[in-house]
């Protein structure tokens, strides 16, 4: 692999992902609890409790701790004069190169959780593909957005 892009995303992004992880864990937890309750009512075998408990704990560990951490450590981006380079992925390291010439527009977007932490996502669109940097400090995202749009305007070429 080539040299890694220079910048990391905001550390608070990790917190946001952990919160997402909690939601996902809850989704796993619901059937686990349902199974346990049913097992209690119908006096099911003991292993149902054990499996439900283990699945919940493992899911919680992976979704809240491990995966966000790996993702955060992997996430890097760099905006240079002529191109944007991104690196992300969980099990698969993905390195994306988007030339400035190809950038059609840049958006920043912010959900409720991101807003609470003063973060913002930024999406770079080419004629065919979209690329998102998920969590940046709000000022940084705004600054980056205007910088990309200026750089993209300077670079000229047709579709």
Partner 1 sequence: MMSEKNRLHWVTAVIELLKTLKEAIIPLLVIVVANGIGRERSGNFWLDNLTILIFGAFIVITAVAGFIKWKRFVYWFEDGELRIEHGLFVKKKRYIPFERIQSVDYTEGIFHRPFGLVKVKIETAGNSSVLEGAEADLTAVTRAEADRVSAVISEAKRRRRAGVQEVQEDGAEAVGVFPAEEPEEEVKTLFRMGRKEIFLLATFSGRIGLIFSGIAIFLSQFADILPFDVIYDEVVAFIRFGVFMVAAVVLVLMLVGWILSVAWTYLGFYGFTVSFDGDDLFISRGLLEKKRVTVPLKRIQAVRVSENPFQKLLGYVSVKVHSAGGSVKEAGAAIGLFPLVRKREVNGLLSELFPDIETSGELAGIPVRSRPFYYRLDFIWVLPLTAAAGYFLFPYGLLALLIIPVIILLGLWQHRSAGWRVNDRQLTVRWREFTLHTVYVSRKRIQSMQEHQTIFQKRRNVATVTAAFKSGIMPSKAPIRHIDEADADRLMDWYDPRNRLQAPSPVEGTPAAEGE
Site residues (vs partner 1, CB under 8 A): 1-2, 80, 82-83, 89, 91-102, 126-129, 131, 157-159
Dist CA 156 CA 117 (whole Å): 37
DSSP 100: G
Taking the least distance from each CB to partner 1, the nearer of 105 and 116 is 105
Taking the least distance from each CB to partner 1, the nearer of 80 and 147 is 80
Helix/strand/coil for 31: helix
Dist CA 82 CA 126 (whole Å): 14
Q: What are phi and psi of 113, to 5 degrees?
A: -70, -40
Taking the least distance from each CB to partner 1, the nearer of 105 and 115 is 105
Q: How far is the CB of 88 from partner 1 (least distance, A)?
A: 10
Taking the least distance from each CB to partner 1, the nearer of 141 and 151 is 151
Q: How far is the CB of 125 from partner 1 (least distance, A)?
A: 10
Q: How far is the CB of 90 from partner 1 (least distance, A)?
A: 10
Dist CA 52 CA 57 (whole Å): 9
Q: How far is the CB of 157 from partner 1 (least distance, A)?
A: 6
Dihedral of the alpha carbons of 127, 131, 137, 138, in degrees to the nearest 10: 30
């Amino acid at each position: 692999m080539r040299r890694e892009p220079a910048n990391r995303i905001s550390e608070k992004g990790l917190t946001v992902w952990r919160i997402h992880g909690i939601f996902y864990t809850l989704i796993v937890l619901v059937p686990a609890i349902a199974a346990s309750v049913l097992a209690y009512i119908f006096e099911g075998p003991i292993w149902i409790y054990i499996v439900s408990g283990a699945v919940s704990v493992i899911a919680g560990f992976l979704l809240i701790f491990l995966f966000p951490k790996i993702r955060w450590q992997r996430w890097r981006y760099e905006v240079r004069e002529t191109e944007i380079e991104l690196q992300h992925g969980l099990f698969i390291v993905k390195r994306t190169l988007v030339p400035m010439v190809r950038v059609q527009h840049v958006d920043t977007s912010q959900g409720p959780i991101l807003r609470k932490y003063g973060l913002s996502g930024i999406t770079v669109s080419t004629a065919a593909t979209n690329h998102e940097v998920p969590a940046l400090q709000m000022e940084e995202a705004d600054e980056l957005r205007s910088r990309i749009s200026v750089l993209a305007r300077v670079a000229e070429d047709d579709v």
